[in-house]
Structure 1
């Protein structure tokens, strides 16, 4: 439907109006939150039924199933197309804790928009609908690429899944991704002691929720 609406052929602007003073926003740091609000309004206009979680920072951004919180989960991500994808896929420790008991999170869809913002003009250059294992991969430091500051892991970060000139390719399936997460947990000193049974717990929980094996 987004393609039918010619989203990659359209140009707009991000405007802030207060006290009859209007400015076109050229700062990129807030685009992710602003675009998510626009996307929610777009879905509403298109008649797409959705719900949101009670906490704005809680995963996922949108629940597309009217009755279930366990399926049709949608996360929306944006990044500057002039730079590599550098958004936070998820907080590393929080995500690992979550899928231990909510392993169905692994099946969430990630709708990703690559934008250009030039001289106040906003344009969506490309978009993808991916699973988490299709946008993540290995790194030189850990089995899953993460944001690391002073040896502390903060967030899971994407690789450049859309480029053919990359050192690390995306994972092939959700099991490969989960196994890499487990190796990262075991390699990271902060989490290794409590993570021995983590992989078994995630596999069992996924089977329990979906009736399928990872």
Structure 2
């Protein structure tokens, strides 16, 4: 069964009542089984559960060539520029502090694959209650719908000793408790990304930065047939 990301979201959330479901993590060795209450592996296990659920539901998908490749799942098997689905999980009682992508790697990727901006992010917020894993909420978003500025940067990123490491989301799901709002378009996201690389000393004067935004915008038009807006 071929589904778009929107149809998959509807099937998972509306038809299968995914929100509110409870699960447990167990480990068995030498006839001893224990229930795990640590959060360290929850995100990876939920992603594996999503994969098993898609197999059970006979939903068409393809894994990336390696576990380090983008995306997590390809839903369109006939066109590798479409149906790009990433799975992200976070502790709903804390904050959405997952990494979207390494800043420099994402910069290179958008030059080569500007259609990546159309990727969908299936984001799952979970909570732990003892050994129970509870699905609190689920979103389907584009990258620019979960990203926004921070106090010092046009695009919120994890910064270590002045170095940009990873693009990070803002708290898109609770506008009442955050100062910064998500971007309104993919173009706003690209402009903020460009502002970061022009502000960061490591990339401010390199050759890639000088033409990056122009090339991504024109490349997006060429690969999708759409203007980046």
Give TM-score, length-normalised by structure 1.
0.97
User: Is residue 20 from structure 1 mapped to residue 31 from structure 2 by the alignment?
Assistant: yes
What are the residue-to-residue correspondences of 1:175-190 with 2, within 5 Å? 175-190=187-202
Aligned match of 1:132 in 143, 159, 178? 143
> Per-residue deviation at 1:30?
1.5
Could you list the runs of 4 or more consecutive aligned residues of structure 1 that deviate by over 6 angstroms after TM superposition? none
Give unpaired runs (5+ residues) of structure 2. Answer: 1-10
> Per-residue deviation at 1:8?
1.4
What are the residue-to-residue correspondences of 1:29-178 with 2, within 5 Å? 29-164=40-175, 165-178=177-190
Give unpaired runs (5+ residues) of structure 1. Answer: none
> Per-residue deviation at 1:86?
0.6
> Per-residue deviation at 1:73?
0.2
Structure number with the higher helix fraction is: 2
> Per-residue deviation at 1:9?
2.8
CA distance in 1 between counterparts of 2:204 and 2:113 reads: 21
> Per-residue deviation at 1:15?
1.2
> Per-residue deviation at 1:147?
0.4
> Per-residue deviation at 1:125?
0.4
Q: Report the secondary structure of 1:197's partner residue.
A: helix
CA deviation string 1:137-188 (max 9, x = no partner) = 0011211000011111110011000112211000000000000000101111
CA distance in 1 between counterparts of 2:130 and 2:203 reads: 45
CA distance in 2 between counterparts of 1:25 and 1:5 reads: 25
> Per-residue deviation at 1:66?
1.2
CA distance in 2 between counterparts of 1:141 and 1:26 reads: 37
Instruction: Give the equivalent residue in structure 2 for 1:200.
Output: 214
Calculate the aligned-residue CA RMSD, in Å: 0.9
CA distance in 2 between counterparts of 1:208 and 1:47 reads: 33
Q: How many residues align?
A: 214
> Per-residue deviation at 1:91?
0.9
Aligned match of 1:6 in 17, 20, 26? 17
> Per-residue deviation at 1:26?
1.3
